[in-house]
């Protein structure tokens, strides 16, 4: 004896946020029921496990039917099949496109290809996120990537418009798209301590200041590709380390400014040339795609790690970078002020964000 | 050629990919009406084509306009092979034919394919130009308005209620035609959908004609059903109540319009003595019919109930036997007439009528069995003429007017309404029901024979014959109902409905309603030129004898009743006379007015009258029953079923009664008993809403008696059970706030009531134990009353004894106690309103839930089956409560269960209901009344306000052209603004300009109208209010899809319905050959139901509406074949499309800014 068919259809589609989350998390119906029972819904509402199972199945089915629409959120608003209040629609979309930080750290900067998708079971095993959920998140990334790839205009705005995502989530997706496009290396052991939000912040900086879009806002891929001309110009910064006078001059200016203001003055003074060389070399190498990929690892190796070993605080780093940037402007023989500002502005905020104490 | 239908195909969106190579579609559209077809151009390579076609014009007869749907087919152009169909849209253009309904249909419709479901949407504009003058147009039945709502629609006033209209049409089911073997499932489904659409159009037109003949202009409570009889065909039948409705206009005070009877003070001077003698008079003339009816009744019992009783009596103690026997009769008391029919004349006789099939035979049987219809016998001769004869009926009747009484002329004094204008319903007798088992297979043999299979879709050739048999069947049942009503001393049947259950070739026809006495007022008043009718309608109560005298007496009696009886209790007073009761029942004096007798229990099929005095809250009460049956064929099967039916009904009633007592309630409203037949079982489901009617006596408790009182353990067991029951009763009393009402009804008019009685009531009702004492008190207290014998029997009442020595009773008790109470915060009922809850919020959730249960072990006992069925229903309810827990506190209203046995071991239960939440702080009685009052007032006011400007167009009034022209522009602008508004970003601009425009119109209207009617000063906010509501809808969901509310109720709390746009009646078929891929049966049905909702909403939105009221899913036939990976489902839904406006919005409409006008004048020209 069994229930052969069991459906519930409301004129306004009923969706329980909690069940939705379980579905998004890739639970099977039975697992979801278990979680719900543990959550204590039954006592709350005098329901039996049977009722809970029926409800869960029904809602999972509803979500499944909605999924097609969620993949194209603009359709959700003007489809006729489900009558869903706008606030609910927004919730559905937002949650559908939400992702786990643990997951995104695994695929951030990887090519969103079939190959990567095949490796998702490893990711799933590693992160403890169900494969189903991994797939959904991966497909979301890929879908957003594909759509915005061919669009003109600002990346974040495009994502917002096409996927009706809230601002923060749209920015995160912009970061993901940006990372995927430039294939930044984020998976190295040295970078493991960084969270997705750290990277997303850096991506935001890079998008805002280093891409084509920072100059011209009506080009295809404007926010996805770095400004080639700018990268070319960065080579000119090499003079700061190749010219011995300039380097010494720079160092003394920074030292004067910092003397007495920091506890790590001595270490700073001793390390100045190394650090400066590190940063300028990163700039000079960015014309190579390979080196662009290593941008973050370079920042860590060339700057963050040395500072860490000398026990700099973030205030020290901030102080140093501020004066390091500003002092270069005083150097009379240094002609590349705009490029320097554009470069150091981003470097500074990225390093500060990546500098965890 | 009175009409020109115009259609324009604007655009499509979200089309499916039809060309795999390009991932695109080359779509074009065929627009077909009747035999004319137009095509749009192909819009190449797009999933969102913009056809922007010309206006396709169809010049057609009004008959076609009513019958035919506009058929829109979207296809994918294919150069090399045949064009592929994407899907279809059927648009019923009937709403455009009534001047008061919609003016244009415009909007996005889902493109539907019976195999793939919804595949994209299409934007269509449809208009109808009627050439002829209004008068000529009225001659056809086009102008008749149809309402599913079973009460007088909210913005109308009933001028006259003409009565029952019915019609049926028959055709072959395309699914069973030979051609079906060679055509695709899609073609077959579409043929079926189209045929049913045509048939319902035809049916509606025919009913409309009848209404016009009766002098009415509307059908209220229109109920259309399909009988899928398989091989033997397809029957579409409909019943309704013909009315003359008036749009409520300002000149009428709401009170006098709605409450005419109670408010006339002159009649109040008549006092009871006058009424009572007249009632006595009627009794004497009536005695013989009643006698014969009751004798028939006992005859019925001899087949069904007594068998049970006799069997039981041998084991029963004398003491308990009396109440038991009485009680079951009282149970039937309300239903008594239902039994004789269903149990019917002993089966052999009936089986004969199946086979021989001559209507005359069945009639003769009937007339012999019920002498009550003496006056009807000539009629039956004519009635055998079937539908053709009946169509002519009214005309013939006109000729015989002088000799026939009103209700004879009317043939069936039935009303499909379930709630009534105040003062219309005088008394309620009880439920009358009739069932009959018929064999389907031999129907068309005589007439059609071999030719049948070749005459495809040509039903004209055989409708003349086929409906005859069906008509005769129904006629027979209706006569039965009519005579039952008479036996109850009632001249009318209200809350009337008909249904069928078909399994293979056996068909059960059922009809039920509530016998009632109605005020003649709505049947005679306002009739302009119908004096003859007037006199006739005064005498509806009596069928024979001195017509005139009785007529006078009847009306005076009813008037007397209506004046004397306070509105809150009048309807409970017995309509039959107490010395000649049609069945044994206990009568007491009404606990409200203390002047008239009331029964101890009242069962009805109607809604609780708004004015009724109710204590506490109500609740859903269900009796569920499942009985096994041997598989059989043909007549044997029919015989077996008709043998089982009386038992089924008897047990259902016992269950209902027990559950009612358990909840300490004394009345059932909205009773609906459904009996479904399957191959090897019968299902019975009775649903009703129990309430405690203050005028009725407090119900006694339930006492359990054992067979062998000497046995100690047994005794203990019994006392345990008794305790459980008493506890449950006490708990229920608290839950439903049913407190003994005596405490407050007594104090003001402590009249005729002695203290002792009070004591008895309070003590006696919860626990039935002190019977002796109570009787003592009683006899003491009632010695003051004249009729002591009645009251003696009354003394037994509080002991409703359940014996547990037979398995039946154990089962009863078991089912009593297994009904889980509703979780806290939930209430449920199957009526329109829940007594005791008045402050609804606007939160509303209509839903449909379907479950199919498979019985895996075939050899189940009755008990086992019962439990399965009971659990199925209970679990379904539990699931609903759980699903809707976020709406708490809330009430599930209009819970409508439908059961079916689709296959051998399957039980299907479908529920449609609406959950409405309410505010917890209950403002009690006064709050309710004032609320009602304001509601009433507001309705009328608003109606008038809106109504006036809208009607201006039609009237071409004396106002300067500005208003009339302006309005037509508004209506013109409305669709154009709506169509593109859906997904363009410019929507807001357009919309706002459109609103400005509306505002301007509103202004011109106001300015124009001031001259004619000063009272219309307030008229201006209304159109604006409407536009606001529309705007808010449109802007909902980011300016994309209008929200359409759906509800099975006739109203939406917190809102006013300002316009009825027409009836929605849709039939869909969905089939799949990839069941697993669509998520199995659940996935398949889930998406189908969602699609049906979507299509209903789309049609309503296209009519300009924002809600469907009185929505119901009348049919949900689901068939599956998992082995073949196939499933098919048919769904039929109906409802009324309306425009509503929030009350708050109405009140809060600020005066419009004058500045708007400057801007709008230009935008107005722009469109």
**Residue A153 within any structural domain of the chain:** yes
B234: number of Cβ within 10 Å: 22
| Contact: B855, A1; criterion CB under 8 Å | yes
Q: What is the pLDDT of residues B989-1037, one digit of tens each?
A: 444 444 444 444 444 333 333 333 333 333 333 333 333 333 333 333 3
Q: Looking at the structure, tell me whether residues A74 and A110 fall in a common domain.
A: no
| Contact: A86, B1037; criterion CB under 8 Å | yes
Which of A8, A11, A62 is opposite residue B849, by nearest beta carbon? Answer: A8
Q: Looking at the structure, tell me whether residues A190 and A257 fall in a common domain.
A: no
Chain A CB contacts of B850 below 8 Å? 5-7
d(CA B18, CA B40): 18
Mutate to test the interface with B, among A11, A16, A69 (most CBs of B within 10 A): A11
| Contact: A5, B882; criterion CB under 8 Å | no
Mean pLDDT of chain B: 67
pLDDT for position B1152? 42
d(CA B212, CA B98): 14
pLDDT for position B732? 82
Enumerate residues 6+ apart whose C-beta is below 8 A from A59.
A14, A15, A16, A19, A20, A23
Better-predicted residue by pLDDT, B789 or A189 = A189
Q: Looking at the structure, tell me whether residues A243 and A343 fall in a common domain.
A: yes
Q: Do residues B680 and B745 lie in contact, with contact meaning Cβ atoms separated by under 8 Å?
A: no
What are the φ and ψ backbone dihedral angles of B206, each rounded to 5 degrees? -65, -40
Better-predicted residue by pLDDT, B260 or B33 = B33
Q: Where are the alpha helices (DSSP H) in B1059-1142?
A: 1080-1102
What are the φ and ψ backbone dihedral angles of B492, each rounded to 5 degrees? -140, 160
pLDDT for position B809? 59
The region that residue A343 occupies, defined by phi over 0 for left and psi between -120 and 50 for alpha, beta otherwise, is: alpha
Q: Looking at the structure, tell me whether residues A192 and A291 fall in a common domain.
A: no
pLDDT for position B1167? 33
| Contact: B853, A51; criterion CB under 8 Å | no
- Residue B871 in this model has a pLDDT that exceeds 80: yes
Better-predicted residue by pLDDT, B163 or B315 = B163
Helix (H, G, I), strand (E, B) or coil at A345: helix
How distant, in Å, are the alpha carbons of A33, A90, A223, A229, B1037 from that of A293? 44, 35, 17, 18, 42
Residue A60, domain extent = 17-83
Q: Looking at the structure, tell me whether residues A243 and A278 fall in a common domain.
A: yes
**Residue A131 within any structural domain of the chain:** yes
- Residue B56 in this model has a pLDDT that exceeds 80: yes
A216 confidence band (pLDDT: 50, 70, 90): low
Q: Where are the alpha helices (DSSP H) in B501-600?
A: 521-524, 531-537, 547-564
Cα radius of gyration (chain B)? 30
Give the pLDDT mean for B495-522. Answer: 86
Domain end (from A146, A178, A210): A210
Q: In this structure, what DSSP letter does residue B15 have?
A: P
Enumerate residues 6+ apart whose C-beta is below 8 A from B57.
B4, B5, B6
Q: Of B752-766, B825-839, B860-874, B906-920, which range is least confident?
A: B752-766
Q: Looking at the structure, tell me whether residues A175 and A278 fall in a common domain.
A: no
Q: Looking at the structure, tell me whether residues A233 and A336 fall in a common domain.
A: yes
Q: If you measure CA to CA, which chain A residue comes closest to B851?
A: A6
A with B: how many residue pairs have Cβ under 8 Å apart? 147
Q: If you measure CA to CA, which chain B residue comes closest to A72?
A: B14
Axis crossing angle, helix B712-735 with helix B807-818, rounded to the nearest 10: 40
**Residue A93 within any structural domain of the chain:** no
Q: Where are the alpha helices (DSSP H) in B956-1051?
A: 961-981, 987-1012, 1021-1039
How distant, in Å, are the alpha carbons of B376, B503, B605 from that of B582? 20, 35, 19
CA distance A120 to chain B (A): 25
DSSP B281-334: HHHHHHHHHHHHHHHHHHHHHHHSHHHHHHHHHTTS-HHHHHHHHHHHHHHHHH
**Residue A9 within any structural domain of the chain:** no
Nearest Cα to Cα of residue B704 among B719, B686, B683: B719
Which of B852, B880, B1094 is opposite residue A5, by nearest beta carbon? Answer: B852
Q: Looking at the structure, tell me whether residues A148 and A78 fall in a common domain.
A: no
- Residue B156 in this model has a pLDDT that exceeds 60: yes
**Residue A92 within any structural domain of the chain:** no
Q: Label residue A205 exposed, middle or buried (CB < 10 Å: 0-12, 13-18, 19+).
A: middle
Give the pLDDT mean for A34-57. Answer: 86
Domain end (from A56, A83, A110): A83
Chain B CB contacts of A13 below 8 Å? 1090
- Confirm or reject contact between B1072 and chain A (CB < 8 A): no
- Residue B721 in this model has a pLDDT that exceeds 70: yes
pLDDT for position B6? 92
Q: Are strands B799-803 and B701-705 parallel, antiparallel or unpaired?
A: parallel
Bridge partners, residue B704, by sequence? B802
d(CA A117, CA A123): 10
**Residue A2 within any structural domain of the chain:** no
Chain B CB contacts of A8 below 8 Å? 847-849, 879-880, 883
d(CA B1004, CA B970): 12
d(CA A245, CA B630): 109
Mean pLDDT of chain A: 88
Q: Looking at the structure, tell me whether residues A110 and A204 fall in a common domain.
A: yes
d(CA A175, CA A182): 10
**Residue A279 within any structural domain of the chain:** yes
**Residue A3 within any structural domain of the chain:** no
Q: Looking at the structure, tell me whether residues A185 and A112 fall in a common domain.
A: yes
Chain A CB contacts of B13 below 8 Å? 78
CA distance A75 to chain B (A): 8
Q: Do residues A130 and A25 lie in contact, with contact meaning Cβ atoms separated by under 8 Å?
A: yes
Q: What is the pLDDT of residues B1060-1114, one digit of tens each?
A: 998 999 999 999 999 888 888 999 999 999 999 999 999 999 999 999 999 999 8
Q: What is the pLDDT of residues A223-240, one digit of tens each?
A: 778 888 888 888 888 888
Q: Do residues B691 and B717 lie in contact, with contact meaning Cβ atoms separated by under 8 Å?
A: no
d(CA B44, CA B132): 41
- Residue A264 in this model has a pLDDT that exceeds 60: yes
Mutate to test the interface with A, among B865, B1041, B1083 (most CBs of A within 10 A): B1041
Q: What is the pLDDT of residues B270-302, one digit of tens each?
A: 333 333 232 222 222 222 222 222 222 222 222
How distant, in Å, are the alpha carbons of A192, A225, B550 from that of A174? 21, 12, 88
Chain A CB contacts of B1081 below 8 Å? 4-5
Helix (H, G, I), strand (E, B) or coil at B845: strand
Bridge partners, residue B75, by sequence? B28, B85
A11 confidence band (pLDDT: 50, 70, 90): very high
- Residue A40 in this model has a pLDDT that exceeds 90: no
Q: What percent of chain B has pLDDT over 90?
A: 19
| Contact: A81, B1045; criterion CB under 8 Å | no
- Confirm or reject contact between B1045 and chain A (CB < 8 A): yes
Domain end (from A83, A116, A134): A83
B249 confidence band (pLDDT: 50, 70, 90): low
Helix (H, G, I), strand (E, B) or coil at B603: strand
Q: If you measure CA to CA, which chain B residue comes closest to A51?
A: B879
pTM for this structure? 0.77
pLDDT for position B155? 84
Enumerate residues 6+ apart whose C-beta is below 8 A from B993.
B977, B1159, B1160, B1163, B1166
pLDDT for position A27? 93
Q: Looking at the structure, tell me whether residues A344 and A261 fall in a common domain.
A: yes
Q: Looking at the structure, tell me whether residues A181 and A266 fall in a common domain.
A: no
| Order of strands, sheet of B681-693, starting from the edge strand that comes earlier in the sequence | B602-603, B667-677, B681-693, B614-628
Q: Of B22-36, B105-119, B359-373, B952-966, which range is least confident?
A: B359-373
A338: number of Cβ within 10 Å: 10
- Residue A99 in this model has a pLDDT that exceeds 90: yes
d(CA B1053, CA B1109): 11
d(CA B577, CA A176): 85
Nearest Cα to Cα of residue B337 among B309, B298, B297: B297
| Contact: A78, B881; criterion CB under 8 Å | no
Q: Do residues B153 and B147 lie in contact, with contact meaning Cβ atoms separated by under 8 Å?
A: yes
Number of compact structural domains in chain A: 3
Helix (H, G, I), strand (E, B) or coil at B882: helix
CA distance A309 to chain B (A): 55
Sign of CA dihedral A56, A58, A64, A66: negative
| Contact: B121, A2; criterion CB under 8 Å | no
Helix (H, G, I), strand (E, B) or coil at B247: strand
- Residue B175 in this model has a pLDDT that exceeds 60: yes
Enumerate residues 6+ apart whose C-beta is below 8 A from B1061.
B95, B101, B102, B1100, B1103, B1104, B1105, B1136, B1137, B1138, B1139
B747 confidence band (pLDDT: 50, 70, 90): very low
Chain A CB contacts of B983 below 8 Å? 78
pLDDT for position B209? 87
| Contact: A78, B1082; criterion CB under 8 Å | no
Helix (H, G, I), strand (E, B) or coil at B400: coil
Which of A1, A16, A57 is opposite residue B856, by nearest beta carbon? Answer: A1
């Amino acid at each position: 004896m069994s229930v052969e068919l069991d459906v519930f259809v409301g004129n306004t589609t009923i969706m329980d946020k909690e069940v939705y989350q379980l579905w998004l998390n890739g639970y099977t119906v039975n697992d979801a029921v278990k979680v719900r029972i543990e959550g204590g819904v039954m006592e709350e509402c005098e329901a039996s496990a049977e009722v809970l199972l029926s409800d869960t199945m029904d809602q999972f089915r509803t979500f499944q039917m909605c999924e097609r629409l969620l993949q194209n959120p603009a359709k959700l608003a003007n489809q006729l099949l489900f009558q869903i209040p706008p606030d609910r629609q927004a919730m559905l979309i937002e949650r559908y496109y939400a992702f786990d930080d643990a997951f995104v750290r695994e695929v951030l900067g990887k090519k969103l290809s079939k190959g990567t998708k095949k490796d998702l079971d490893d990711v799933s095993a590693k992160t403890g996120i169900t494969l189903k959920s991994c797939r959904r998140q991966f497909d979301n990334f890929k879908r957003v990537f594909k759509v915005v790839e061919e669009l003109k205009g600002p990346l974040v705005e495009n994502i917002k418009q096409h996927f009706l995502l809230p601002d923060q989530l749209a920015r995160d997706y912009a970061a993901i798209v940006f990372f995927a496009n430039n294939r930044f290396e984020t998976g190295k052991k040295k970078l493991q301590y960084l969270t997705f939000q750290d990277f997303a912040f850096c991506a935001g900086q890079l998008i805002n200041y280093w891409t084509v879009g920072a100059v011209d806002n009506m080009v295809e891929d404007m926010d996805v590709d770095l400004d080639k001309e700018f990268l070319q110009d960065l080579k000119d910064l090499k003079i700061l380390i190749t010219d011995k006078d300039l380097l010494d001059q720079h160092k003394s200016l920074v030292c004067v400014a910092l003397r007495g203001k920091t506890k790590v003055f001595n270490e700073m003074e001793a390390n100045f040339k190394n650090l400066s060389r590190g940063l300028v070399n990163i700039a000079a190498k960015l014309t190579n795609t390979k080196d662009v990929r290593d941008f973050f690892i370079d920042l860590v190796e060339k700057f963050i790690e040395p500072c860490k070993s000398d026990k700099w605080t973030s205030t020290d780093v901030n102080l140093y970078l501020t004066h390091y940037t500003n002092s270069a402007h005083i150097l009379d023989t240094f002609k590349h002020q705009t490029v320097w500002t554009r470069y150091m502005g981003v470097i500074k905020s990225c390093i500060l964000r990546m500098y965890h104490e | 050629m009175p009409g020109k239908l115009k259609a324009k195909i604007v655009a499509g969106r979200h089309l499916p990919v039809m060309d795999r190579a390009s991932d695109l579609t080359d779509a074009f559209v065929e627009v077909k009406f009747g035999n004319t077809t137009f095509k749009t151009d192909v819009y190449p390579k797009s999933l969102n084509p913009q056809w922007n076609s010309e206006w396709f014009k169809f010049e057609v007869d009004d008959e076609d306009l009513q019958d035919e749907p506009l058929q829109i087919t979207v296809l994918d152009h294919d150069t090399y092979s045949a064009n592929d169909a994407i899907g279809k849209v059927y648009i019923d253009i009937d709403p455009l034919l009534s001047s008061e309904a919609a003016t244009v249909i415009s909007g996005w419709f889902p493109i539907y394919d019976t195999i793939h479901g919804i595949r994209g949407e299409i934007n269509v504009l449809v208009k109808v130009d009627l050439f002829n003058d209004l008068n000529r147009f009225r001659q056809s039945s086009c102008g008749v308005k149809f309402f599913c709502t079973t009460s007088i629609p909210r913005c109308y006033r009933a001028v006259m209620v003409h009565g029952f209209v019915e019609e049926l049409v028959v055709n072959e089911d395309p699914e069973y035609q030979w051609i079906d073997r060679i055509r695709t499932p899609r073609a077959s489904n579409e043929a079926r959908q189209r045929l049913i659409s045509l048939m319902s159009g035809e049916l509606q037109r025919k009913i409309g004609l009848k209404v016009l003949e009766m002098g009415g202009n509307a059908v209220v409570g229109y109920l259309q059903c399909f009988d899928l009889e398989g091989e033997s065909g397809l029957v579409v039948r409909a019943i309704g109540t013909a009315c003359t409705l008036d749009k409520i206009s300002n000149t009428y005070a709401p009170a006098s319009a709605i409450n005419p009877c109670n408010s006339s003070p002159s009649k109040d001077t008549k006092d009871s003595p006058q009424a009572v003698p007249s009632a006595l008079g009627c009794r004497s003339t009536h005695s013989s019919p009643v006698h014969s009816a009751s004798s028939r009744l006992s005859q019925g019992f001899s087949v069904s109930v007594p068998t049970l009783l006799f069997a039981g009596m041998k084991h029963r103690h004398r003491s308990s036997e009396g109440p038991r026997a009485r009680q079951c009769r009282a149970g039937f008391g309300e239903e008594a007439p239902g039994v004789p029919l269903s149990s019917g004349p002993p089966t052999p006789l009936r089986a004969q009528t199946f086979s021989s099939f001559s209507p005359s035979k069945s009639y003769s049987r009937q007339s012999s069995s019920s002498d009550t219809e003496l006056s009807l016998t000539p009629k039956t001769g004519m009635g055998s003429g079937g539908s053709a004869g009946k169509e002519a009926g009214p005309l013939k009747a006109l000729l015989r007017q002088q000799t026939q009484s009103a209700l004879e002329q009317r043939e069936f004094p039935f009303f499909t309404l379930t709630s009534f204008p105040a003062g219309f319903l005088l008394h309620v007798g009880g439920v009358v029901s009739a069932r009959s088992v018929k064999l389907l297979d031999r129907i068309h043999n005589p007439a059609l024979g071999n030719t049948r299979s070749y005459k495809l879709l040509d039903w004209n050739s055989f409708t003349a014959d086929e409906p005859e048999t069906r008509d005769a069947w129904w006629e027979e049942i209706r006569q039965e109902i009519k005579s039952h009503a008479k036996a109850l001393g009632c001249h009318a049947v209200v809350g009337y409905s008909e249904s069928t259950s078909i399994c293979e070739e056996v068909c059960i026809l059922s009809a039920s309603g509530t016998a009632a006495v109605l005020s003649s007022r709505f049947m005679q008043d306002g009739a302009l030129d119908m004096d003859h009718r007037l006199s006739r309608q005064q005498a509806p109560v009596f069928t024979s004898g001195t017509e005139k005298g009785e007529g006078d007496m009847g009306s005076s009696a009813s008037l007397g009743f209506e004046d004397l009886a306070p509105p809150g209790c009048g309807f409970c007073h017995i309509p039959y006379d107490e010395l000649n009761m049609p069945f044994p029942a206990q009568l007491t004096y009404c606990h409200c007015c203390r002047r008239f007798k009331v029964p101890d229990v009242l069962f009805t099929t109607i809604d609780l009258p708004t004015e009724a005095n109710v204590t506490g809250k109500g609740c859903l009460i269900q009796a569920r029953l499942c009985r096994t049956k041997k598989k059989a064929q043909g007549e044997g099967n029919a015989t077996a079923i008709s043998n089982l039916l009386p038992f089924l009904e008897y047990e259902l009633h016992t269950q209902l009664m027990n559950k009612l007592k358990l909840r300490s309630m004394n009345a059932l409203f909205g009773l609906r008993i459904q009996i479904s037949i399957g191959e090897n079982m019968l299902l019975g489901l009775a649903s009703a809403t129990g309430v405690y009617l203050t005028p009725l006596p407090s119900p006694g408790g339930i006492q359990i008696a054992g067979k062998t009182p000497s046995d100690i353990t047994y005794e203990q067991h019994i006392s345990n059970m008794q305790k459980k029951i008493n506890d449950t009763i006490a708990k229920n009393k608290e839950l439903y706030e049913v407190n003994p009402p005596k405490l407050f009804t007594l104090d003001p008019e402590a009249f005729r009531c002695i203290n002792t009685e009070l004591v008895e009531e309070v003590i006696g009702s919860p626990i039935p134990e002190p019977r002796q004492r109570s009787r003592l008190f009683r006899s003491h207290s009632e010695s003051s009353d004249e009729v002591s014998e009645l009251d003696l029997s009354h003394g037994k009442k509080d002991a409703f004894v359940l014996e547990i020595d037979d398995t039946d009773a154990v089962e009863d008790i078991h089912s009593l106690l297994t009904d889980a109470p509703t979780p806290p915060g939930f209430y449920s009922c199957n009526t329109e309103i829940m007594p005791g809850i008045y402050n609804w919020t606007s939160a509303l959730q209509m839903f449909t839930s379907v479950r199919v249960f498979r019985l895996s072990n075939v050899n189940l006992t009755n008990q086992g089956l019962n439990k399965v069925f009971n659990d199925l229903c209970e679990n379904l309810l539990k699931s609903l409560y759980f699903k809707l827990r976020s709406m708490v506190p809330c009430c599930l209203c209009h819970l409508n269960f439908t059961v079916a046995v689709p296959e051998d071991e399957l039980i299907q239960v479908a529920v449609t209901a609406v959950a409405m939440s309410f505010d917890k702080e209950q403002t009690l009685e006064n709050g309710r009344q004032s609320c009602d009052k304001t509601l009433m007032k507001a309705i009328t006011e608003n109606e008038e306000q809106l109504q006036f400007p809208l009607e201006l167009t039609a009237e071409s009034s004396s106002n300067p052209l500005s208003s009339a022209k302006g309005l037509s522009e508004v209506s013109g602008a409305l669709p154009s603004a709506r169509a593109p508004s859906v997904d363009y970003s410019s929507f807001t601009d357009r919309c706002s300009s459109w609103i400005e425009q509306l505002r301007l119109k509103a202004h011109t209207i106001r300015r124009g109208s001031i001259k004619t009617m000063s009272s219309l000063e307030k008229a201006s906010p209304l159109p604006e209010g409407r536009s606001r509501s529309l705007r808010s809808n449109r802007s909902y969901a980011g300016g994309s899809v209008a929200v359409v509310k759906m509800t099975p109720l006739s109203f939406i709390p917190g809102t006013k319905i300002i316009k009825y746009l027409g009836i929605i009646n849709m039939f869909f078929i969905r089939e799949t050959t990839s069941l697993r891929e669509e998520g199995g049966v659940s996935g398949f049905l889930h998406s189908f139901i969602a699609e049906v909702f979507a299509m209903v909403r789309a049609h309503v939105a296209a009519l300009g509406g924002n809600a469907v009221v009185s929505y119901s899913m009348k049919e949900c036939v689901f068939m599956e074949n998992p082995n073949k990976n196939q499933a098919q489902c048919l769904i039929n839904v109906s409802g009324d499309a309306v425009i509503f406006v929030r009350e708050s919005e109405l009140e809060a409409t600020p005066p419009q800014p004058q500045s708007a006008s400057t801007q709008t004048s230009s935008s107005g020209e722009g469109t």
